């Protein structure tokens, strides 16, 4: 079974600065997706960025980028020019694409989350 | 607004009560999910419905009973819950099971007293 670990329960950053959230995962599969979701106080989980495991190029979405290290099974999120609206709980998630008849296909596995505080 | 609506937003119930959580999606998706979010724990997948058929039950106690009458609606019926069942219950949907993006509702904050 896959596991996702976020070792930073809480992080803080000054407005306009850069912060990196860590995520590691454990899998024996070669084909999968990785995600970062944001959960603001409104509680609605919002997709921030996704990475296909077969792509070597790191995904970017405006101020959000990832550092995907497949061999190390590491998937960190970098937020540049942090804004007050970035304050939220961030979840790293893994989705199996192993269609070899296993029970994990399609299942979304989440980490424990990291609370990000942005100071003005 | 992501097109997934959950009601109620908050629910307080006694251990002998029966209540239901409702989820509705207007995205034309075929897969719907229930997740449980407890403090300091990862989100736990509870149930998956694909084309109205339950495809996954992650060893959830029988006091939680899901129902999916059509692809747009998903219910979670609750009865004789325990205080440890207090959590945020999130509904999500995706175009197909295993699709890369799942859209979430705002959750129901459940407190069992």
Q: What is the mean pLDDT of chain A?
A: 91
Tracing tokens 């596991």 back to the chain, one arrives at: A3
In B, which residues are within 8 Å of A45 by CB distance?
90, 92, 104
DSSP B85: G
Does position A11 have pLDDT exceeding 90, yes or no? Answer: yes
User: 3-state DSSP call for residue A86?
Assistant: helix
* pLDDT tens, position by position, B100-111: 688 999 999 999
* Nearest residue of B to residue A36, measured between CA atoms: B101
Cα distance between residue B21 and residue B9, in whole Å: 9
**pLDDT single digits (tens) A40-55:** 988 889 999 999 999 8
Contact criterion met (CB below 8 Å) for A92 and A111? yes
Q: Cα-flanking dihedrals φ and ψ of residue A44, to 5°? A: -80, 120
Q: What is the pLDDT of residue A104?
A: 55
Query: Hey, is the C-beta of B102 within 8 angstroms of any chain A C-beta?
Result: yes
- Whether B113 shows a pLDDT value over 90: the answer reads yes
Dump pLDDT digits (tens) for A66-118: 999 999 999 999 999 999 999 999 999 998 876 655 555 667 889 999 999 99
State residue A99's pLDDT score: 60
**Interchain contact, A108 vs B90, CB within 8 Å:** no
Tokens 């719907």, residue? Answer: B32
Which tokens is A5 given?
């670990």
Residues 6+ apart with CB under 8 A from B98: A95, A97, A105, A106, B31
């Amino acid at each position: 079974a896959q596991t996702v670990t976020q070792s930073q329960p809480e992080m803080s950053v000054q407005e306009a600065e850069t912060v990196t959230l860590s995520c590691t995962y454990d899998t024996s599969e070669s084909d999968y997706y990785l995600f970062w979701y944001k959960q603001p106080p409104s509680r609605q989980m919002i997709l921030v960025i996704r990475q296909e495991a077969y792509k070597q190029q790191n995904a970017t979405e405006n101020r959000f980028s990832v550092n995907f290290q497949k061999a190390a099974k590491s998937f960190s999120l970098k937020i540049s020019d942090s804004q007050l609206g970035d304050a939220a709980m961030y979840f790293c998630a893994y989705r199996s694409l192993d269609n070899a008849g296993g029970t994990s296909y399609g299942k979304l596995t989440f980490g424990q989350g990291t609370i990000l505080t942005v100071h003005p | 607004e992501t097109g997934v609506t959950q009601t109620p937003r908050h629910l307080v119930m006694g251990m002998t009560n029966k209540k239901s959580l409702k989820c509705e999606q207007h995205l034309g998706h075929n897969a719907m999910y229930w997740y449980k979010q407890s403090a300091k724990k990862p989100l736990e997948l509870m149930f998956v419905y694909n084309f109205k058929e339950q495809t996954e039950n992650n060893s959830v106690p029988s006091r939680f009973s899901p129902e999916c009458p059509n692809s747009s609606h998903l219910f979670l019926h609750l009865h004789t819950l325990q205080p440890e069942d207090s959590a945020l219950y999130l509904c999500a949907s995706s175009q197909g099971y295993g699709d890369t993006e799942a859209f979430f509702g705002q959750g129901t904050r459940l407190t069992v007293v």
